[in-house]
Amino acid sequence: MRIGEPAARAGTTTRTLRYYESRGLLSARRTGNNHRTYDENDLKLLRQIRTLQDFGFELEETRPFVECLRAGHPEGDSCPASLAVYRRKLDELDALIGELQTVRAVVGEQLGRAEKARDELAADAAAPGGPEPACELGGRQR
Protein backbone atom coordinates (compact mmCIF):
# COMPACT_ATOMS: atom_id res chain seq x y z
CA MET A 1 0.00 0.00 0.00
CA ARG A 2 1.17 3.48 -0.69
CA ILE A 3 1.07 5.95 2.19
CA GLY A 4 -2.41 7.34 1.52
CA GLU A 5 -4.21 4.01 1.86
CA PRO A 6 -3.11 3.02 5.38
CA ALA A 7 -3.57 6.62 6.51
CA ALA A 8 -7.16 6.63 5.23
CA ARG A 9 -7.91 3.16 6.60
CA ALA A 10 -6.63 4.17 10.04
CA GLY A 11 -8.44 7.51 9.98
CA THR A 12 -5.34 9.69 10.01
CA THR A 13 -3.13 11.62 7.61
CA THR A 14 -0.05 10.87 5.56
CA ARG A 15 1.75 13.55 7.56
CA THR A 16 1.02 11.60 10.75
CA LEU A 17 2.45 8.41 9.22
CA ARG A 18 5.62 10.27 8.28
CA TYR A 19 5.85 11.62 11.83
CA TYR A 20 5.43 8.14 13.32
CA GLU A 21 8.16 6.95 10.96
CA SER A 22 10.47 9.76 12.13
CA ARG A 23 9.83 8.65 15.74
CA GLY A 24 10.65 5.03 14.89
CA LEU A 25 7.14 3.70 15.44
CA LEU A 26 6.54 2.82 11.80
CA SER A 27 9.05 1.80 9.20
CA ALA A 28 8.11 2.11 5.57
CA ARG A 29 9.74 0.25 2.78
CA ARG A 30 10.68 2.23 -0.31
CA THR A 31 9.90 1.51 -3.93
CA GLY A 32 12.36 2.10 -6.75
CA ASN A 33 11.10 5.65 -7.14
CA ASN A 34 11.39 6.21 -3.35
CA HIS A 35 7.66 6.02 -2.53
CA ARG A 36 6.79 4.69 0.91
CA THR A 37 4.93 1.39 1.00
CA TYR A 38 3.18 -0.32 3.87
CA ASP A 39 1.60 -3.70 4.47
CA GLU A 40 -1.16 -5.08 6.71
CA ASN A 41 1.26 -5.45 9.64
CA ASP A 42 2.07 -1.74 9.39
CA LEU A 43 -1.64 -0.99 9.35
CA LYS A 44 -2.05 -3.06 12.53
CA LEU A 45 0.72 -1.04 14.20
CA LEU A 46 -0.87 2.18 13.06
CA ARG A 47 -4.29 1.18 14.39
CA GLN A 48 -2.73 0.21 17.74
CA ILE A 49 -1.05 3.61 18.01
CA ARG A 50 -4.22 5.48 17.04
CA THR A 51 -6.40 3.52 19.47
CA LEU A 52 -4.06 4.17 22.38
CA GLN A 53 -3.81 7.84 21.51
CA ASP A 54 -7.60 8.06 21.33
CA PHE A 55 -7.61 6.70 24.91
CA GLY A 56 -5.26 9.49 26.02
CA PHE A 57 -1.89 7.73 25.82
CA GLU A 58 1.08 9.87 24.85
CA LEU A 59 2.81 8.83 21.64
CA GLU A 60 5.88 7.52 23.47
CA GLU A 61 3.62 5.39 25.68
CA THR A 62 2.53 3.47 22.57
CA ARG A 63 6.08 2.26 21.87
CA PRO A 64 5.94 -0.93 24.03
CA PHE A 65 2.71 -1.96 22.29
CA VAL A 66 4.27 -1.42 18.86
CA GLU A 67 7.39 -3.35 19.87
CA CYS A 68 5.22 -6.17 21.18
CA LEU A 69 3.43 -6.45 17.84
CA ARG A 70 6.72 -6.26 15.94
CA ALA A 71 8.01 -9.14 18.09
CA GLY A 72 5.24 -11.28 16.61
CA HIS A 73 2.70 -11.22 19.42
CA PRO A 74 -0.91 -11.27 18.25
CA GLU A 75 -1.83 -8.30 20.44
CA GLY A 76 0.20 -5.26 21.41
CA ASP A 77 -0.72 -5.55 25.05
CA SER A 78 0.46 -9.12 25.63
CA CYS A 79 4.02 -8.14 26.65
CA PRO A 80 5.23 -7.14 30.14
CA ALA A 81 6.29 -3.64 29.02
CA SER A 82 2.80 -2.95 27.64
CA LEU A 83 1.20 -4.14 30.86
CA ALA A 84 3.48 -1.78 32.80
CA VAL A 85 2.26 1.13 30.66
CA TYR A 86 -1.35 0.12 31.36
CA ARG A 87 -0.62 0.08 35.10
CA ARG A 88 1.01 3.53 34.99
CA LYS A 89 -1.90 4.91 32.97
CA LEU A 90 -4.43 3.50 35.44
CA ASP A 91 -2.52 5.08 38.33
CA GLU A 92 -2.53 8.39 36.46
CA LEU A 93 -6.26 8.12 35.76
CA ASP A 94 -7.02 7.24 39.39
CA ALA A 95 -5.11 10.33 40.52
CA LEU A 96 -7.03 12.52 38.05
CA ILE A 97 -10.33 11.03 39.17
CA GLY A 98 -9.41 11.81 42.78
CA GLU A 99 -8.59 15.39 41.89
CA LEU A 100 -11.85 15.78 39.98
CA GLN A 101 -13.84 14.34 42.88
CA THR A 102 -12.23 16.90 45.20
CA VAL A 103 -13.03 19.75 42.82
CA ARG A 104 -16.59 18.46 42.42
CA ALA A 105 -17.07 18.41 46.20
CA VAL A 106 -15.83 22.01 46.51
CA VAL A 107 -18.07 23.19 43.66
CA GLY A 108 -21.03 21.38 45.26
CA GLU A 109 -20.35 23.11 48.58
CA GLN A 110 -20.09 26.49 46.84
CA LEU A 111 -23.38 25.86 45.06
CA GLY A 112 -25.06 24.91 48.33
CA ARG A 113 -23.82 28.09 50.03
CA ALA A 114 -24.86 30.24 47.08
CA GLU A 115 -28.34 28.72 46.96
CA LYS A 116 -28.76 29.17 50.73
CA ALA A 117 -27.69 32.82 50.51
CA ARG A 118 -30.08 33.39 47.60
CA ASP A 119 -32.95 31.78 49.51
CA GLU A 120 -32.20 33.91 52.59
CA LEU A 121 -32.24 37.07 50.50
CA ALA A 122 -35.51 36.03 48.91
CA ALA A 123 -37.04 35.34 52.34
CA ASP A 124 -35.87 38.73 53.63
CA ALA A 125 -37.31 40.46 50.59
CA ALA A 126 -40.67 38.73 51.03
CA ALA A 127 -40.95 39.72 54.70
CA PRO A 128 -43.06 42.82 55.48
CA GLY A 129 -40.80 45.86 55.41
CA GLY A 130 -38.05 43.87 53.72
CA PRO A 131 -35.85 45.35 51.04
CA GLU A 132 -37.10 45.67 47.51
CA PRO A 133 -35.53 43.00 45.27
CA ALA A 134 -33.15 44.32 42.61
CA CYS A 135 -33.62 43.38 39.02
CA GLU A 136 -30.56 41.31 38.32
CA LEU A 137 -30.48 42.10 34.63
CA GLY A 138 -30.80 45.85 34.85
CA GLY A 139 -29.49 46.44 38.36
CA ARG A 140 -32.51 48.67 39.21
CA GLN A 141 -34.95 48.13 42.03
CA ARG A 142 -38.61 47.53 41.27
- pLDDT per residue, tens digit, the chain (142 aa), is 999 999 999 999 999 999 999 999 999 899 889 889 999 999 999 999 999 999 999 999 999 999 999 999 999 999 999 999 999 999 999 999 999 999 999 999 999 999 999 998 888 877 776 666 565 665 555 4
The 10 Å Cβ neighbour count of residue 122 is 12
Q: Does residue 135 lie within any of the structural domains?
A: no
Q: Does residue 107 lie within any of the structural domains?
A: yes
Inter-residue contact 28 to 37 (CB < 8 Å)? yes
At residue 134, the 3 state secondary structure works out as strand
Q: How far is CA 87 from CA 14, 90, 93, in A?
A: 31, 5, 10
Q: How far apart are CA 125 and CA 106, in angstroms?
A: 29
Q: Does residue 137 lie within any of the structural domains?
A: no
Domain extent at residue 119: 4-126
Q: Does residue 35 lie within any of the structural domains?
A: yes
Q: Does residue 133 lie within any of the structural domains?
A: no
Q: Does residue 115 lie within any of the structural domains?
A: yes
Q: Global pTM?
A: 0.74
Q: How many domains does the chain have?
A: 1
**CATH code of the domain in which 75 resides:** 1.10.1660.10
Q: Does residue 60 lie within any of the structural domains?
A: yes
